[in-house]
A = this chain, B = another copy of it.
Amino acid sequence: MFNKLCIVGVGLIGGSVASAARKRRLCRQIVALGRREDLENLQRARQLGIIDAYHYDPGSAVQDADYIVIATPVGAIEAVLAELEKHWSDTAIYTDTGSTKGSVIAAAKKVFGKVPANFVPAHPIAGSENSGVDAADPDLFQDKRLIITPLPDNSLQALTAVQEFWEQLGSSVASMPAGHHDAVLAATSHIPHILAFSLVEMLGKKDEQIEIFQYAAGGFKDFTRIASSDPTMWRDICLANSQEIVPLLEELQDRLAGIVQMLENQDSGTLFELFTYANQARQRFLDQIEK
């Protein structure tokens, strides 16, 4: 059991890290570093017993902390690192939970010149369309994957500590280069979010939207679930990973143009092949996650 955990940004993910750490008795004390405009959320986190205290001042928040977990939207990470820099401890372990890793590493390089040896970028592949500390779940990371994107500058001690930290929260930890992480996540997470947001926005602006939504079935509900995700978080992710997202989005647009052609030509055979291929590919996906 270590002494003090500091969470920067106590939303869905930060709150879940805190409550998971508490439930598994990893540390004695949990504090949050937050902003004055998040007062209500910080009070709520304390009221729920997820944190013991909160601070607006980075110095007080990180003082004697063993682990510091940055769980803000990725667009805020550079500012957070700049704040933490003045109080940086060489003995503490720093990690983050951002959904894009290239941008986090770039932010660290900007602030520190190079990524500090004891800052290990990480991304838990877990979440929910709900946001805020009320959605925090101590078992959010249980049996989920967590990706570490290590850097040559990282100390072995920090890498091991971050891996152990997440394993103790129940995650299965893997490691890959940041660029590869960002490409994979663009495909399976960022693009689906953009599609769900776009479709719901488009339908929501139609005059007949009430009727459209009224006759939507379970398929639509599941398909659009991620469109209920936090807009700030997703704006930041999309902007931070636009390099990977744009080519994929353009590739998908080509494929949709192909489907428009098939429909206009009533090209039954090609459409059937495409749907059959997709149906089988999803089965491969299901087989994969059941392993």
Contacts and interface: CB of A to CB of B under 8 A. Distances in A.
9 contacts: A197-B275, A198-B255, A198-B259, A201-B274, A213-B289, A216-B289, A238-B263, A239-B266, A246-B264
A196 interface: yes
Interface in A195-237: 195-206, 208-232, 234-235
A227 B144 contact: no
Interface stretch (A2-10, A53-61, A157-165, A181-189): A181-189
A250 interface: yes
B272 A215 contact: no
Interface of A: 75, 125-127, 129, 144-145, 147, 174, 183-185, 187-189, 191-206, 208-232, 234-235, 238-239, 242, 245-246, 249-253, 255-257, 259-260, 263-264, 266, 268, 271-272, 274-286, 288-289
A104 to B, nearest CB: 17
For this chain, the copies found in one complex come to 2
Nearest to A279: B231
A285 B235 contact: no
A279 B125 contact: no
B225 A212 contact: no
B256 A198 contact: yes
Given A216-B285, A228-B279, 20 more contacts: A126-B218, A184-B211, A184-B215, A188-B216, A189-B220, A191-B199, A192-B220, A198-B252, A201-B277, A202-B252, A204-B277, A204-B280, A219-B226, A221-B285, A222-B225, A227-B281, A235-B275, A239-B268, A242-B264, A249-B263
Q: Which of A219, A272, A274 has the most chain B CB atoms closer than 10 A to its own CB?
A: A219
B226 A271 contact: no
